[in-house]
């Protein structure tokens, strides 16, 4: 038979049946081979055919259907294998007839449950995969759900999975992602809400060891505590009042002459004690007190030198050195103090080796103090001055004014942050008259601010 005739017969649907093919192609090995080759050629020519009609499925859809069918077949095979394993386990649990009828019924129920669980295993895997995807997309919600464990938690998660839209669909309101701090606060509120409704523990269930801080109760308010509080309040008010009076006295001492300050303390002896106490509280805050520095310098000199301390206060310098010391001040806090105006001390001329002014150049008549020190000092005597650094506007003008009163500068120490220290040597009487003005001796008043 010619080749084109055989191809025409194969492509015709009437000759596709085995009966007609047997009639056309007689039974024989050669004819069978020819039929097989023709069918192979037809199979090879199928992919090169024109695209299918609109009603027929495309090749991609056919491939997808095959994939889905293979997946379903794999899942069904897995479930069948699991069912077989369950049945084998049920059969291995005991020989038939050894147990009672009730036990056999129970075993049958267990086997049925195993079969149902096997059928649901694939669905559980799907749910787990969905849950993992949601955890990656929204970790904060996963942290909130971590408190729930067990089958109830899985059920709630499944319901959440069903309620949430798929990743492909865009929701109008995106889920709110909590920060770590917000999540901690939410967990804290949950714990406090749980503890609020927790029943109190019985005394038998209380812990054996309880710290003393927890067992100790605050003392009941008693009249003594009220008295202590009232006393503390009075002490604070008295301290504030003393601070205000100290500032007032300090301003009076710097703004007037020494004679007015002497009269003030004679009329009110307690005022000097109050002023001295406030002054000491201020000086204690300094890293180094100037009286200690002067005492250290005088210890390096002979102990036979006579010292005159102008504005001695509590005689701390006299208690720190072995030299004989004449102590002068406006009021007495020690038996060794001679109460007088420092512009007129009861000493003979040229009777002292060292004159000290330690934070005592107060008042508006500083020139009178320095001239009195020149009078009582021996020729070549030493004058030591320590004053608050903030009082000096110009150190050179101050040193120049002092040299005009019969002194020369030996040394000066400006390194301290709170006070300056100067050493002068007496060269002779003042070189200017009493009416000459020395502007360098006008120092700024040392006023304390209210705190």
Summarize pLDDT for 43-59 with one digit per residue, the tens.
Answer: 776 544 444 444 444 55
Instruction: State the average pLDDT over residues 84-95.
Output: 62
Q: What per-residue confidence (pLDDT) applies to 147?
A: 44
Highest mean pLDDT pick, 245-254, 328-337, 440-449: 328-337
* β-pairing verdict for 325-329 and 377-388: unpaired
Q: What per-residue confidence (pLDDT) applies to 25?
A: 47
pTM of the shown model: 0.50
Q: What per-residue confidence (pLDDT) applies to 95?
A: 47
Instruction: State the average pLDDT over residues 36-44.
Output: 77
Angle at 416 between CA 397 and CA 413, to 5 degrees: 50
| Window from 60-64, 318-322, 353-357 with minimum mean pLDDT | 60-64
Whole-angstrom distance, CA of residue 194 vs CA of residue 110: 39
Whole-angstrom distance, CA of residue 318 vs CA of residue 356: 11
Instruction: State the average pLDDT over residues 211-231.
Output: 60
Whole-angstrom distance, CA of residue 96 vs CA of residue 395: 120
| Window from 192-196, 238-242, 414-418 with minimum mean pLDDT | 192-196
Reply yes or no on whether the pLDDT at 177 is more than 70.
yes
Give the Cβ contact number of residue 401 at 10 Å: 20
Task: Give the residue ranges of DSSP H helices in 256-349.
Answer: 258-267, 269-283, 290-299, 316-320
pLDDT interval class at 184 (50, 70, 90): confident
Highest mean pLDDT pick, 183-187, 208-212, 234-238: 183-187
Whole-angstrom distance, CA of residue 332 vs CA of residue 340: 10
More confident residue, 392 or 212: 392
Highest mean pLDDT pick, 36-45, 61-70, 391-400, 440-449: 391-400
Reply yes or no on whether the pLDDT at 431 is more than 70.
yes
Whole-angstrom distance, CA of residue 370 vs CA of residue 342: 10
* β-pairing verdict for 407-413 and 419-426: antiparallel
What top-level class would CATH report for the domain 287-441?
A: alpha beta
Reply yes or no on whether the pLDDT at 242 is more than 50.
yes
Reply yes or no on whether the pLDDT at 243 is more than 60.
yes
Give the Cβ contact number of residue 428 at 10 Å: 10
Give the Cβ contact number of residue 419 at 10 Å: 21
Whole-angstrom distance, CA of residue 168 vs CA of residue 157: 20
Percent of all residues in the chain with a pLDDT value above 90, rounded to a whole number: 34
| Window from 61-65, 135-139, 366-370 with minimum mean pLDDT | 135-139
Give the Cβ contact number of residue 408 at 10 Å: 12
pLDDT interval class at 435 (50, 70, 90): confident
Helix (H, G, I), strand (E, B) or coil at 296: helix
Whole-angstrom distance, CA of residue 12 vs CA of residue 19: 14
Summarize pLDDT for 294-337 with one digit per residue, the tens.
Answer: 999 999 999 999 999 999 999 999 999 999 999 999 999 999 99
Whole-angstrom distance, CA of residue 329 vs CA of residue 152: 92
Highest mean pLDDT pick, 135-144, 199-208, 302-311: 302-311
How far from 95 is each of 51, 241, 277, 364, 415, CA to CA, in Å? 64, 105, 107, 124, 107
Whole-angstrom distance, CA of residue 365 vs CA of residue 445: 13
Whole-angstrom distance, CA of residue 331 vs CA of residue 341: 10
| Window from 63-67, 187-191, 309-313, 414-418 with minimum mean pLDDT | 63-67
Give the Cβ contact number of residue 371 at 10 Å: 16
Cβ neighbors of 432 (< 8 A, separation 6 or more) are 404, 405, 438
């Amino acid at each position: 038979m010619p080749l084109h005739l055989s191809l025409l017969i194969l492509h015709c649907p009437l000759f596709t049946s085995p009966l007609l093919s047997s009639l056309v192609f007689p039974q024989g090995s050669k004819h069978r081979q020819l039929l097989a080759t023709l069918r192979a050629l037809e199979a090879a020519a199928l992919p090169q055919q024109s695209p299918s009609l609109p009603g027929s499925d495309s090749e991609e859809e056919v491939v997808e259907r095959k994939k889905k069918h293979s997946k379903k077949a794999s899942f069904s095979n897995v479930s069948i294998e699991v069912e077989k394993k369950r049945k084998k386990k049920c059969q291995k649990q005991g020989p038939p007839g050894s147990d009672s009828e009730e036990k056999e019924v129970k075993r049958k129920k267990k086997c049925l449950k195993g079969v149902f669980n096997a059928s649901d295993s694939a669905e559980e895997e799907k749910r787990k995969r969905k849950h993992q995807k949601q955890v990656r997309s929204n970790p904060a919600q996963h942290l909130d759900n971590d408190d729930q464990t067990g089958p109830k938690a899985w059920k709630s998660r499944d319901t959440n999975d069903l309620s949430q839209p798929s990743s492909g669909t865009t929701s109008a309101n995106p889920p709110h992602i909590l920060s770590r701090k917000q999540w901690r606060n939410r967990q804290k509120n949950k714990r406090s809400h749980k503890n609020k409704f927790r029943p109190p523990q019985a005394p038998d269930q209380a812990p054996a060891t309880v710290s003393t801080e927890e067992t100790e109760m605050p003392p009941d308010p008693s009249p003594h505590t009220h008295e202590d509080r009232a006393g503390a309040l009075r002490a604070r008010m008295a301290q504030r009042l003393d601070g205000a009076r100290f500032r007032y006295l300090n301003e009076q001492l710097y703004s007037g002459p020494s004679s007015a300050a002497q009269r003030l303390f004679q009329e009110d002896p307690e005022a000097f004690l109050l002023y001295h106490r406030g002054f000491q509280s201020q000086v204690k805050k300094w890293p180094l007190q100037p009286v200690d520095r002067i005492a250290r310098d005088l210890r390096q000199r002979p102990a036979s030198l006579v010292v005159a301390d102008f504005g001695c206060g509590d005689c701390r310098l006299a208690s720190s050195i072995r030299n004989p010391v004449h102590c002068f001040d406006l009021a007495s806090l020690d038996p060794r103090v001679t109460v007088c105006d420092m512009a007129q001390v009861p000493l003979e001329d040229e009777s002292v080796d060292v004159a000290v002014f330690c934070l005592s150049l107060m008042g508006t008549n500083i020139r009178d103090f320095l001239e009195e020190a020149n009078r009582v000092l021996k020729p070549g005597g030493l004058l030591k001055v320590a004053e608050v650094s903030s009082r000096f506007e110009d150190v050179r003008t101050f040193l120049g004014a002092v040299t005009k009163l019969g002194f020369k500068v030996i040394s000066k120490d400006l390194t301290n942050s709170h006070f300056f220290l100067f050493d002068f040597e007496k060269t002779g009487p003042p070189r200017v008259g009493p009416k000459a003005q020395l502007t360098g001796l006008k120092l700024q008043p040392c006023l304390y601010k209210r705190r």
